[in-house]
Amino acid sequence: MAVDDGFDVVGVVRRSWSMTSSDIPDVHSLADLERVWRHLIEPLGFGSRQIFAIMLDRDGRVHPSIVNVTDCPATPDGQMLVNLARSLRTVLDEADPDGSIAMLWARPTHAGTRASDIQWVRAITAVTAAHSLGEWPLHTADDSVLRVMSPDDLAA
């Protein structure tokens, strides 16, 4: 993945796994996407605030790599998110312009959803929409819970 100058390159990791496509279910629903996230990041437990991103092709197949931005600041960094979205859009355009990106916000502790989580989810959702990365709602995870963020969660 190309990394724009606005990224702290140390904090961006691209991981690939050596699984067959049958190891990871195709994604056609929110339940499918939650299963994929659980497959990729469980057991839950995070050392820092992080963003995960996966690419889905037009048929819902998950590309065998994951982008992981680690050590995110306490409050959303708009320029970092724009740079991430631009890079993801470039990768998506090259691999499958009709595909989509699914993202997950994760952080340490068992504290439940915090105001800072809502800020991050709103910021990530906005930049995802602005760069036409897909319609998948953002998932969040802490050290004990993985969940999808609903529009009602964001309206609060």
The per-residue pLDDT for 8 is 40
Give Cβ neighbours of residue 113 (< 8 Å, ≥ 6 apart): 140, 153
> How many degrees, rounded to 5, is the angle at CA 149 between CA 11 and CA 2?
30
Reduce the DSSP state of residue 33 to 3 states and report it.
Answer: helix
Report the alpha-carbon distance of residue 88 to residue 1 in Å, rounded: 8
Q: What is the pLDDT of residue 15?
A: 52
pLDDT of residue 95: 92
Of 46, 43, 96, 35, nearest in space to 68 by CA: 46
Per-residue pLDDT for the chain (156 aa), expressed as one digit of tens each? 333 334 343 345 555 444 455 678 899 999 999 999 999 999 999 999 999 999 999 999 999 889 999 999 999 999 999 999 999 999 999 999 999 999 999 999 887 778 889 999 999 999 999 999 999 999 999 999 999 987 777 676
* Model pLDDT, residue 30: 95
| Domain-wise residue ranges, the chain | 9-155
Cα atoms in the 13 Å half-sphere on the side-chain side of 34: 10
Single pTM value for the model: 0.85
Which CATH code for domain 9-155? 3.40.140.10
| Nearest residue to 17 via CA among 52, 58, 59 | 52
What pLDDT is stored for residue 20 in this prediction? 53
